Amino acid sequence: MIRIIRFADELSAQFGKVFAWLIVLMAFGTGYSVLARYGFNRPPAWALDVSFIAYGTLFMMGGAYTLSRGGHVRGDFIYRLWKPATQAKVDLFLYLTFFFPGVTALVLSGWKYSAKSWGYAEVSINSPAGIPIYQFKTVMVAAGLLLFIQGIGQICRCLYCIRHNEWIAAHEDVFETEELLMQQAKSAQKGDQS
């Protein structure tokens, strides 16, 4: 069970980190668009579509990574007061009742829309550039499959917690700036004291 959890977490992390680079693409694209529009009075026809596609892809492909790290929003004002085993039972029920049916619907409907879109090489109707968007519709399927795999990992995490009354934490690979600054300050204090 732990191997399944680690596999799902690692797969989600790898895809999340690769697609996080879209932020850089979006920043350069937006910067170029602003410069071209206001500096040269020649706005690019593709800018809006490309920013939508990049942001949508980033959002969709980061979902499984966010799930693996427990980063999705939850109303946990009561949840956090429960024992871990109780939390796991509730999570298990919710995954089976809502998560998997929703993700399955995403994959199946995404497959249908994607296949149609690839069939006639769909392009965006929002700009005169005619940016192809059929590949973007494939992202729905890929993101759904990643979420499904991560969901299996989360189910295993719940089952482990029900048995052992403790959660298996995901590997921490992202830290808030404040946490890093506090760690540096503590390290510096220890260095000054010795």
Give pLDDT tens digits for 81-101. 899 999 999 999 999 999 999
Residue 108: alpha-carbon gap to chain centroid = 19
33 and 43 in contact (C-beta within 8 Å)? yes
153 and 90 in contact (C-beta within 8 Å)? no
Give pLDDT tens digits for 6-65. 899 899 999 998 999 999 988 888 888 899 989 998 888 888 788 888 899 999 999 999
- State yes or no: pLDDT of 158 exceeds 80: yes
The answer for 69, left when phi > 0, alpha when psi is -120 to 50, beta otherwise, is: alpha
71 and 12 in contact (C-beta within 8 Å)? no
Q: What is the DSSP letter of 42?
A: -
Q: What is the mean pLDDT of residues 142-157?
A: 95
Query: Which tokens belong to 85?
Result: 């085993």
pLDDT at 132: 86
Query: Which tokens belong to 135?
Result: 């590949």
- Given pLDDT bands bounded at 50, 70 and 90, which one contains residue 172? confident
